[in-house]
Amino acid sequence: MADIEFKGRVAIVTGAGGGLGRQHALALAARGAKVLVNDLGGAVDGSGGTAGAAQKVVDEIRAAGGEALANAASVTDFAAVEAMVQQAIDAWGRVDVLVNNAGILRDKSFAKMSMDDFRLVVDVHLMGAAYCCKAVWPHMVAQQYGRIVMTTSSTGLYGNFGQSNYGAAKLAQVGLMQTLALEGAKHNIHVNALAPTAATRMTEGLMPQEVLDALKPEAVVPAMLVLAHESAPTRTILCAGAGTFEAAHITLTQGVHLGIGSEVPERLAARLAEVTNRAGEQVPQSGAAQGTNEVAKAMAAR
């Protein structure tokens, strides 16, 4: 097996002042990367902020012999994100890896959730990731190399009660990944998504201690390292938790051609089980696959 190492690489990890982000930053640094540690230093709900959280992780990395810089920008502030990326460029001349890990929670059932809380969670997770990607993109294009890791979630992929804002933002990151991977391919920019299950500040009090012990953030880190490495795949959704690793896929069934007409709604309802049958489903290589399948079936039925 080839070593997963990052000597000579420069990485930015957002939300790296604690929990999973801290473990990501420490692991990248331990394997040779120069790491810009970003963290606003706020509470789980996004309130407050201090540069101390990021600096503590930088101090850990430096104490272990690595190179690191601290940054306390909010990922919701595009100008601050651009300055963060420039900070890495000024110090080390390039950015090879971006791990979009910053996030907050404002959980409530949708009926009780304010739209301000919905928007803020989307702003941090989705717009924060988009801002960071936009800021590193021209540098990665210029150097013809980049590895971007989105942090999605099982909540985004499969849903979770009380997390409509979080789930919407997390699945949106997968949609961003899908297109950026296509657009980045010719520039050797690989874009992937990590769906972690880990015990962090966000999960305290939600699970028994025995379960929390099994779900150490460190157990997720190998998946991030694989997705951030030069040998990484692209457009992969890797799930990880408690030392187990899975892949998630957005698939398309074979479907059924029913044509056009006033009776089609009734025919569709009658054959819905056939439409949703997963036998022979595919993982489309782009969004065009849906239209291609539909038109091919329509032409075959003529």
- Catalytic site residues? 166
User: Angle of helix 52-63 relative to helix 19-30, nearest 10 degrees?
Assistant: 30
Q: What is the CA radius of gyration of the chain?
A: 21
Give the three-state DSSP class for 147: strand
Residue with tokens 């460029």: 89
CA dihedral over 197, 38, 187, 94, signed as positive or negative: negative
Spatial distance between the Cα atoms of 181 and 85, rounded to a whole number of angstroms: 20
Q: Mention every residue, 6+ apart, whose C-beta is less than 8 A from residue 64.
A: 26, 29, 30
Distance from the Cα of residue 197 to its chain's centroid: 13
At residue 149, what are phi and psi to the nearest 5 degrees?
-115, 115
Helix or strand run (H / E) with residue 35: strand 34-38
- Cβ neighbors of 263 (< 8 A, separation 6 or more) are none
Q: 19-30 vs 221-228: helix axis angle to the nearest 10?
A: 50
DSSP annotation of 163 reads B
- In contact, 119 and 134? CB cutoff 8 Å: no
Q: Map residue 10 onto helix, strand or coil.
A: strand
Bridge-based pairing state of the strands 97-100 and 10-13: parallel
Partners of 252 in beta bridges: 282
Q: Where are the alpha helices (DSSP H) in 216-287?
A: 221-228, 264-270, 272-275
